[in-house]
Structure 1
Amino acid sequence: MTGVLRSDTGHEIAPLDDPGETPTPADVAALIVELQSAGLRTDADVETRTGGAGPSDSGMLWIEGMPVTVPVRTEEARRSPYVLRPEDDGGRAIYRDGRRLASVAASHRPRYYDRETADGVPYWKIALLHLDSMASTVVQTCNYWNTADQCRFCGIGVSLAAGSTIVKKTPEQLGEVSVAAKELDGAVDATLTTGSSTAPDRGARYVARCGRAVKDASGLPVEIQFEPPRDLAILDEVHDMGGSDAVGIHVESFDPQVLAHVAPGKARTGIETYFRTWERAVELWGSGRVSTYVILGMGEDPDLTVEACRRAVDIGVYPFVVPLRPVAGSLMEDWAPPPGPYSNRIYWQVAAYMSRRGMSADDAVAGCARCQACSAINAVQQPLLQIGPRPGSAS
């Protein structure tokens, strides 16, 4: 290797002079942090998740074996100093300033997308493949949508309005698609989420029924995602249904002022209610099998965010820290992802604490914390697990 490139996070990424060279785990982590902020220009074809909820307008890549979703169709991406280029051997690599940084394996259009149900519904309208994880919003409506309580970052109604999905997926449909996703495209788990309901269970029972159908049909591990039910006893009922190996109960932001602005309905639920719900969920599903999204770049207090992530880790909850991914058509579509250095500081502090407490993505058997493609926290944690935290990272 000759020379270094100083990344925006301050990490010096060594370019690869020989196609056979492999970047260090720290270099890969630094690159992923930057790409999820700055985006990626593409001179090579890449499978893209376009519009709506999920990893919107993003290319799905394996960077040195790490699963990553990277913005490729945003304004930031079009200005990015990073570019994905084809190589003479048929592979792909990421370059900056003409210097090769990492090899890339791109995902391709899943084969099961070409199938449809007996009543003519294309499989891709029922569930999408995010790299190696089948994902579906089982009920594509939410009681917050088009009200004053609408989550400003959310695009659940955008996909429906675009005709790229259907309102409600049945357990039978999801089971059928999960078999095809596993057999044709190597799906290793399923992530099932739902819009919020006004019912006491907030939609948890139905998404659990769907999870049971997927597990019965394909045997895939399943994470189900829902809001805190009004009665914690519902968690016991959902767990006893046997339709989930993990659960995601997403607070989105630990900063009460930010949460009240970006997700008023969730703010009224209250952050302490999330903690009480997580505590019971960990008792049922186990440590590391309960997770929460923590979105960065919405104006939150970073110190408060890190402290709350540590509190979550202490009770066995995996804080899935992600940079804001603005969704076209959402109320925050004009926002930009947070700068890489900002996300990087929080990643390092949370990852270092998880390492000290013995928590990692290996604990998760399904869902976002297992997949990791929309976050860089697992990439950041890998060097820590090998060499220990860097000085001051857990302060």
Structure 2
Amino acid sequence: MGRGSSAAASLGAPPGQDGGPTAAAEALASLVVDLQARGLKVEVPLERRTGGAGPSDSGMLWVGGFPITVPTDNAAAAGSPYVLKAEDDGYAIFEDGRRVAGASTQQRPRFYDLTTADGVPYWKIGLMHLDSFASTVVQTCSYWGNDDQCKFCGIGVSLDSGRTIVKKSPEQLAEVAMAAKELDGAVDATLTTGSSNGVDRGARYVARCGHAVREATGLPVEVQFEPPMNLDVIDEVADLGIDSVGIHVESFDPAVLAQVAPAKARTGIDQYFRAWERAVARFGEGQVSTYVILGMGEDPELTVEGCRRAIDMGVFPFVVPIRPVAGSLMEDVVPPAREYTESIYRKVAAYMSERGMATDVAKAGCARCQACSGLQSVEALLQIGARPIPISHAV
């Protein structure tokens, strides 16, 4: 599917507008962000990610050419004005009966029907997130079930629901990733892990798994882990040939971080910056990313300034709205409104553009896929000359 400014051309401007490329891009960006806030009703078959960690309880599709994950199985989606319907030549998004965008969907991956020699279904080892193969290699976390549990996380929910296994081996992951590439066109692999109490926080094992996948498939690989207690571990990860890393701070607001992710707060935001600096030196600018979650009560100015500081050192701030996970401690949180997330997207995208960091810079991982964020659709506005919101202005 096409991306960036070319995608904007696939959406007609709303009634009353001149239908020019800027109007079309504005409408498409707003639609993408609003869908992620308000969800989508579905009247056609749609591949969905249900239960636990990842883009949970969501449908996976392309809207106007942009890859997006959209809530389809929660209370917001049940009351959404948006509906995915069939057309003669495909699918489209309708709002209150009016067609607003073309859409295409992901079919059930063929590798899901396979099993390992010892009888484990491939889909319990890894999943397709649109065109990306993804897996949590260790489905346990030292924070889960105690006072340190990250309130937005659903890592234990996936395990309790029987949708995965506790630990995937490098050999299993390599086997399943190869099938995902050959049967379903996976273009990269994203591997994450629950945090351990070890000095490496789980980084060594997820990197070993990533190395096995890369050696077997040739796919670019991102691995995700917390800042190791010894930053030399980051060099060990790089030495295994990993392409990109995700080291996720989640929020640049220390008060919010202390409330929703107390163990990460104890690590400290400055330690994340130290880890990122080490990682950028090894992996390169744009190949180190961090999740920045919106809608947890954060100060928007601290959020934008934190993104700016990260961009300045070559870190990609993957800004996303919170996706409440059923069974998590924040399952009842309402995602932030489109106006809030879009205003922050515009500031961050504008600064990324100013610093020469495009949304397609990452070789692998969530920042490469982009489906859980609206940053890419907002970037398209800048590419066709829409006026950005200066980063120094208040949200």
Do the two structures share a fold, i.e. TM-score over 0.5?
Answer: yes
1:13 offset after TM fit, Å? 5.2
Matched position secondary structure for 1:217: helix
Residue 128 of structure 1: aligned partner: 127
Structure 1 counterpart of 2:150, one-letter code? C
1:28 offset after TM fit, Å? 1.5
1:308 to 306, 309, 314: 306
Residue 277 of structure 1: aligned partner: 275
1:97 offset after TM fit, Å? 2.2
2:351 to 350, 353, 375: 353
2 CA distance for matches of 1:22 and 1:64? 14
Residue 335 of structure 1: aligned partner: 333
Residue 55 of structure 1: aligned partner: 55
Matched position secondary structure for 2:360: helix
2 CA distance for matches of 1:391 and 1:144? 38
Q: 1:268 to 1:309 in 2, by over 3 A?
A: same
Contact 1:350 / 1:394 at 8 angstroms: preserved in 2?
Answer: no
Contact 1:355 / 1:385 at 8 angstroms: preserved in 2?
Answer: no
1 CA distance for matches of 2:69 and 2:169? 28
Residue 41 of structure 1: aligned partner: 41
1:322 to 320, 323, 338: 320
Contact 1:352 / 1:389 at 8 angstroms: preserved in 2?
Answer: no
1 CA distance for matches of 2:320 and 2:259? 19
1:193-212 aligned at under 5 Å gives the runs 193-212=192-211
Normalising to structure 1: TM-score of the pair?
0.93
Structure 2 counterpart of 1:77, one-letter code? A
- Cα offsets for 1:281-340 (capped at 9, x unmatched): 000000000000000000000011001100000000000000000000000001111111
Q: 1:255 to 1:38 in 2, by over 3 A?
A: same
Residue 220 of structure 1: aligned partner: 219
User: % of aligned pairs identical?
Assistant: 65
Residue 376 of structure 1: aligned partner: 374
- Cα offsets for 1:72-96 (capped at 9, x unmatched): 111111101111111123x110011
1:16-95 aligned at under 5 Å gives the runs 24-89=24-89, 91-95=90-94
Q: 1:310 to 1:393 in 2, by over 3 A?
A: closer
Q: 1:121 to 1:22 in 2, by over 3 A?
A: farther
Contact 2:22 / 2:384 at 8 angstroms: preserved in 1?
Answer: no
Structure 2 counterpart of 1:282, one-letter code? V
- Cα offsets for 1:105-152 (capped at 9, x unmatched): 011110000000000000000000000000000000000000100000
Contact 1:63 / 1:102 at 8 angstroms: preserved in 2?
Answer: yes
1 CA distance for matches of 2:391 and 2:248? 25
Could you tell me which runs of 5 or more consecutive residues in structure 1 were left unpaired when the two chains were aligned: 1-11
1 CA distance for matches of 2:127 and 2:387? 36
2 CA distance for matches of 1:250 and 1:133? 19
1:361 offset after TM fit, Å? 1.8
Contact 2:350 / 2:390 at 8 angstroms: preserved in 1?
Answer: no
1:363 offset after TM fit, Å? 1.1
Residue 296 of structure 1: aligned partner: 294
Q: 1:314 to 1:372 in 2, by over 3 A?
A: same
RMSD: 1.7
Q: 1:160 to 1:23 in 2, by over 3 A?
A: farther
Q: 1:22 to 1:313 in 2, by over 3 A?
A: closer
1 CA distance for matches of 2:124 and 2:337? 33
Residue 138 of structure 1: aligned partner: 137
4+ aligned runs moved over 6 Å, structure 1: none
Matched position secondary structure for 2:93: strand
1:23 offset after TM fit, Å? 8.0
2 CA distance for matches of 1:44 and 1:163? 26
Q: 1:26 to 1:373 in 2, by over 3 A?
A: same
- Cα offsets for 1:23-49 (capped at 9, x unmatched): 823222110000000001111221111
- Cα offsets for 1:170-204 (capped at 9, x unmatched): 00000000110000000000000000000000000
Structure 2 counterpart of 1:27, one-letter code? A
Matched position secondary structure for 2:324: coil
Normalising to structure 2: TM-score of the pair?
0.93
